[in-house]
Each structure stands twice: as C-alpha cells, then as structure tokens.
C-alpha cells in the first residue's frame, strides 16, 4: 500500500487531481488524500470497532428488495425445493 501511494504521489495526473480536490473542498478533513504517513496512522483495531458498531446489528436498517418475484415464487413452489422448510418460507412470504 505504501508503494502504491508513493507511485501515486509521483504521477503528475494524480498530483493535479489531488490539488483540485483540495481546492474545491477548501481542504476539509473529510476529504483525505492518502499518503504513506496517513496509512501508518490507520488503526485496524479502531477501524474494526467502528465497523462492528455500525454493522453488528441490522435493527434500524431499511432493506429494499427488488427483482422478479414471480420467478422467485416459481422456484419455491417447484418440486426441487419442495421440502418442509421451503414450503414454510413460501407461505410466510
């Protein structure tokens, strides 16, 4: 990762892109341009704690399910999935 950021910092196109990002965002803290020093500051334990706090429980999430439900019902009603579990799942939906 550090080698990648070192190469990124030497590429003129990336330097221009990073400069434009800094200028258009007034150098806000929310816009982080990765550097070798910033990568060394990353704490995997802290990142895991944040991830675990955010995604350990799906309560409060909103799920939007889209798709071909007609096809879904045909699969569950077919003889291939005609066992007790599949029938219960089909009836609950």
DSSP string, 15-50: HHHHHHHHHHTTT-TTSPPP-HHHHHH--HHHHHHH
Cα distance between the two ends of the chain = 46
**pLDDT for the residue numbered 52:** 92
Alpha-carbon span 66 to 6, nearest angstrom: 43
State the Cα–Cα distance between residues 73 and 81, nearest whole angstrom.
Answer: 11
What is the pLDDT at residue 32?
73
In this structure, are residues 35 and 7 in contact, taking their beta carbons and an 8 Å threshold?
A: no
- Confidence at residue 14, expressed as pLDDT on a 0 to 100 scale: 81
pLDDT averaged per 10 residues, the chain (length 93): 74 85 79 76 92 88 77 61 50 51
**Whole-number pLDDT of residue 77:** 61
What is the per-residue pLDDT for 75?
64
**Which tokens belong to 13?**
């196109």
Q: How far apart are the C-alpha atoms of 15 and 33, rounded to whole Å?
A: 10
The pLDDT value given to residue 46: 94
pLDDT for res 67: 72
Q: What is the pTM of this model?
A: 0.42
């Amino acid at each position: 990762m550090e080698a990648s950021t070192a190469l990124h910092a030497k590429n003129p196109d990336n330097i221009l892109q990073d400069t434009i990002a800094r200028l258009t965002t007034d150098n806000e803290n929310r816009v982080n341009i990765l550097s070798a020093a910033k990568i060394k500051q990353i704490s995997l334990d802290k990142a895991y704690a944040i991830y675990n706090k955010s995604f350990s429980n799906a309560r409060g999430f909103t799920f939007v399910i889209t798709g071909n439900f007609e096809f879904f019902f045909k699969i569950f009603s077919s003889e291939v999935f005609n066992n007790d579990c599949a029938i219960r799942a089909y009836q609950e939906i």
